[in-house]
Structure 1
């Protein structure tokens, strides 16, 4: 059976994206070309690899059996690329990082700046989604999470602890000071939309003894802007505060949260020298920048 590696790549992207359009966008091909590649591969293997419907492309039983072999070929190709590249100090090419939007907006920009200063040939892609990044579908090369995943063929490493406090606009707090927890009752609360809290570590209102927010968003960046507009009090990452100098923390000793970031990779990527080197350097810069931003808060 004579298989074309480019067709295998197309198969993997369609399998992970569950459709032609998403795969075509990632591969920078048109959907019709992706469809022809899939048809050609199915002709070679002699079986339908996908169940096609208006809702998308779902793996058939044959496709599900074929998937791990295609992933093994992908890992072998990556390992071969590492071997050909040797062990030079410069990192290059694309690396896709998935992260919660607070981390992506207020921490990763400075980390990426350091990475690119040190390795100008890198191409960094940041996916900021209000949900857990699916590494099994290769949505990213690595993901930053606030809870260690409990399932999947993944490697998990704790990156660092970070801190959060209750904060509001300084003009608002000048009118309605907050000296005790009882004073919170005089303020609107800004927070997450309850049914869109995708990780239990983000359930800050429960720790405040509250069950609702007067103004809510699934985005940390939107929440921060709502606070900057003087709409109320909300829980803010300390590392985001340098980007919002008009916000002031309250109840610093009475209400302080500590959470952790974890870096997660697909287990097979442990064999990829380039990603191992990238992760080691990235982790160091990440911890340094987190500590610096919290010091400046």
Structure 2
């Protein structure tokens, strides 16, 4: 059955509600339990919705229902209808909408380990119905194509479909283990220390450029583009490292003291910004809105 349109304008809200329950729970039985309907009613209403759209929404398998590509295409519109319906009910009764379902979050690996993962137990305690899928890779996911629901980025993405808010700004600083920082004292030349830096695939990354410019003759104790490994190596005393200043509060690292002659080079330490980014169409969906508000609260306080 070919899709006539991904427009849900002709669909009834009750059928959209069933579609969302089926997408979230993956079976007619579980969706029925969630909605207080018997399985035959859920199946009949799903068939009616598919007829309205002119497209199959789920493949029926032994393991349950598998969303089709059309189902993924109409999901944002269905969630927007859900958000509008809940806003209407909330405004009328003062009741707060439940937040439940999967939220896919894209975060750089080092930031995920240090700042996001430690907050997830608090998020679950507040919103037990939300399940997080964390993509902690260096690959930049495309929010406009629904590769993620929310992202934390150091550069604000452009696009009319995206909304963003700045959470923080922080300068990179030279740091080392407490023992190495104490032994180094007031550093007279950046070249005098062994350094941990980025691998050649990220040679154009601003912290790597700073080190190449201001410590060209330094011994490189470790090259790796895995930031968590850089931090662990620095904590163990392998060498000095450039890190954003907030990391000093969550890792066993101390800022390096330096002589006045190095003040000009220290003034060139890169500055990072932290942006929370989402798709405009999903911003008021309860599960996305709840995680958005939680991240703003948690990360602006650091």
Please report the TM-score for the alignment, with normalisation by the length of structure 1: 0.63
Question: 1:223, CA displacement in angstroms?
Answer: 0.4
Paired residue total: 227
Question: 1:188, CA displacement in angstroms?
Answer: 1.7
Give yes or no for contact 1:95–1:125 (8 Å, CA) kept in 2: yes
From the superposition, tell whether residues 131 and 191 of structure 1 become closer, same or farther in structure 2 (CA, over 3 Å): farther
Alignment of 1:1-297 (within 5 A): 3=3, 73-83=74-84, 87=90, 88-150=96-158, 153-175=161-183, 177-182=184-189, 184-196=190-202, 202-208=205-211, 209-210=214-215, 213-245=220-252, 247-251=253-257, 254=263, 255=266, 257-270=270-283, 272-288=285-301, 290=302
Structure 2: distance between partners of 1:192 and 1:261: 20
Name the SS of the counterpart of 2:275 in structure 1.
strand
Name the SS of the counterpart of 1:260 in structure 2.
strand
Question: 1:72, CA displacement in angstroms?
Answer: 5.7
Structure 1: distance between partners of 2:163 and 2:131: 23
Give yes or no for contact 1:159–1:262 (8 Å, CA) kept in 2: yes
Question: 1:92, CA displacement in angstroms?
Answer: 2.1
Question: 1:190, CA displacement in angstroms?
Answer: 0.7
From the superposition, tell whether residues 2 and 144 of structure 1 become closer, same or farther in structure 2 (CA, over 3 Å): same
CA displacement, residues 20-78 of structure 1 (integer Å, 9 cap, x when unaligned): xxxxxxx99xxxxxxxxxxxxxxx88xxxxxxxxxxxxxxxxxxxxx9x8776222221
Question: 1:152, CA displacement in angstroms?
Answer: 7.2
Larger radius of gyration: 2
Give yes or no for contact 2:143–2:150 (8 Å, CA) kept in 1: yes
Question: Any gaps of 5 or more consecutive residues in structure 1?
Answer: 6-26, 29-43, 46-66, 291-297
Structure 2: distance between partners of 1:181 and 1:259: 26
2:60 aligned partner: none
Name the SS of the counterpart of 1:158 in structure 2.
strand
Give yes or no for contact 1:99–1:144 (8 Å, CA) kept in 2: yes
Question: 1:178, CA displacement in angstroms?
Answer: 4.4
Question: 1:224, CA displacement in angstroms?
Answer: 0.5
Please report the TM-score for the alignment, with normalisation by the length of structure 2: 0.62
Question: 1:83, CA displacement in angstroms?
Answer: 5.0
Cα RMSD of the aligned pairs, angstroms, is 3.6
Give yes or no for contact 2:76–2:281 (8 Å, CA) kept in 1: yes
From the superposition, tell whether residues 151 and 190 of structure 1 become closer, same or farther in structure 2 (CA, over 3 Å): farther
From the superposition, tell whether residues 115 and 217 of structure 1 become closer, same or farther in structure 2 (CA, over 3 Å): same
